[in-house]
Chains A and B, each alone.
Chain A
Amino acid sequence: DQQVKQNSPSLSVQEGRISILNCDYTNSMFDYFLWYKKYPAEGPTFLISISSIKDKNEDGRFTVFLNKSAKHLSLHIVPSQPGDSAVYFCAASVGEYGNKLVFGAGTILRVKS
Chain B
Amino acid sequence: ETGVTQSPTHLIKTRGQQVTLRCSSQSGHNTVSWYQQALGQGPQFIFQYYREEENGRGNFPPRFSGLQFPNYSSELNVNALELDDSALYLCASSTGLAGGLETQYFGPGTRLLVL
Contacts and interface: CB of A to CB of B under 8 A. Distances in A.
A27 to B, nearest CB: 13
Interface in B22-70: 31, 33, 35, 40-45, 48, 50, 55-56, 58
A4 B43 CA distance: 12
B109 A100 contact: no
B41 A99 contact: no
B90 interface: yes
Interface stretch (A59-67, A73-81, A87-95): A87-95
Contacts of B99: 95-96
Interface residues of B, number: 31
A99 B100 contact: yes
Nearest to A6: B42
Nearest to B91: A43
Interface of A: 4, 6, 31-32, 34, 36, 41-46, 49, 51, 89, 91, 93-106
Q: Give the 8 A-B residue pairs with the shortest CB-CB distance, closest first.
A: A103-B42, A95-B100, A43-B106, A99-B100, A95-B101, A98-B56, A43-B108, A100-B45
